[in-house]
Structure 1
Amino acid sequence: MKQLLLLFTLGLASCTQTPHLDNMPTDPKALPPIVLLKGDTVSKFSTDSLAKGRPTMLYFYGPGCKPCDTMSQKMVASMDTLKDVNILFISAGSFHEVKIYQEKFNVEKFPNVKLGLDYNNAFFRFYGGQAYPLLVFYDKNRQIKRANYGSLPLDTVRAIIDK
């Protein structure tokens, strides 16, 4: 039964439209359109829906990634220092893993945080995420400031955002 459910889910996922490269920003420094599928496998969230005029941090994490777990714990514990930043927790794992991560860290209790599955691999195609965690910082005008492989101390994260 689980195999049938998995095949059905994979079949549905393969039917979704993948954004063409035409949908990517013409400015390579601009925040690309990324659509996240939430853990409920129904709701979606797009980078186009982010609050305007605020810095943005994209946080590409992996299931079973210990540095990602540590970084997530630190971010949750210090979210008051990041409350003015749009934060997207982006996974390339599975729906189940997204749901487990949300239950484990409860990051969506914060109004500035969204978590979901990059089901059409837009993030991966744009950034080529090859290691976890990958942090990508954008300024309030949605222009890239910096990308960093590996976790960072939160004071460094804040310094990058404020620079």
Structure 2
Amino acid sequence: MKQLLVLFALGLASCTQAPHADNMPKDPKALPPIVLLKGDTVSKFNTDSLAKGRPTLLYFYGPGCKPCDTMSQKMAAAMDTLKDINIVFISAGSFHDVKLYQERYKFEQFPNVKLGLDYNNVFFRFYGGQAYPLLVFYDKNRQIKRANYGSLPLDTVRAIIDK
């Protein structure tokens, strides 16, 4: 019985590996390199390739999250006020969820927006996301400004970015 318990514990530990030290920024306030798998399940995107010199918003959303849907709807409708910000929508769901989100909100039509699945769970391990949405704001130098659980009014998002 003890052997089964040890095997079970080892199995769980192997599912939640810590990010490799080489893949994490040396500065804990710096934007981490997160690789997203896009809805087509082939294309990848890395946060390292975001436009430099612009603020960045990481938006961690989950499938079936009503506050996420409401905030995403508002963001899509007001994208012209957010066009100077790198926005990365990171899914906690599946490829299917990523594809549905893209079809629903058409975010990828905006050049400043990326959307995908964090298939290596780097975001989750780095930030310890416990609720949706999780918004993480970075300044133009890729240094963290603020993290926020829950949706925010767009004027508050804009104020945090401009601060």
TM bucket, shorter chain? 0.7 to 0.9
| Amino acid across the alignment from 2:114 | K
Give 4+ residue runs of structure 1 displaced > 6 Å after superposition: none
Per-residue deviation at 1:139?
0.2
Q: Could you tell me whether the CA contact under 8 Å between 2:19 and 2:125 is conserved in 1? A: no
Tell me which residue corresponds to 2:27.
27
Other-structure match for 1:94: 94
Q: In structure 2, list runs of 5 or more residues that go unmatched.
A: 1-17
Q: How many residues align?
A: 146
Letter in 1 for 2:98: V
Aligned to 1:58: 58
Note if contact 2:56-2:137 (Cα within 8 Å) is conserved in structure 1.
yes
Residue 19 of structure 1 and its aligned partner are, at CA, apart by 5.4
What is the distance in 2 between the residues matched to 1:130 and 1:21? Answer: 22
| Matched AA of 1:147 | A
Could you tell me which residue of structure 2 aligns to residue 112 of structure 1? 112
1:20 is displaced (CA, Å) by 1.3
Which one-letter code corresponds to 2:61 in the other structure?
Y
Q: Does 1:75 align with 2:82?
A: no
Alpha-carbon offset, residue 135 of structure 1: 0.2
Alpha-carbon distance in 2 for matches of 1:77, 1:92: 23
Which residue of 1 is the match for residue 36 of structure 2? 36
Percent identity between matched residues is 88
Unaligned runs of 5+ in 1: 1-17
**Letter aligned with residue 91 of structure 1:** S
The answer to whether 1:148 aligns with 2:144 is no
Q: Structure 1 length normalisation: TM-score?
A: 0.88
- Match for residue 137 of structure 2? 137
Q: What is the RMSD computed on CA atoms of the aligned residues?
A: 1.0
Offset of residue 92 of structure 1 = 1.6
Tell me, in whole angstroms, the C-alpha distance in 1 between the residues paired with 2:94 and 2:47. 20
Quote the residue 2:85 is aligned against.
85
Letter in 2 for 1:149: Y
**Which one has a bigger Cα radius of gyration?**
2
Letter of the structure 1 residue corresponding to residue 153 of structure 2? P
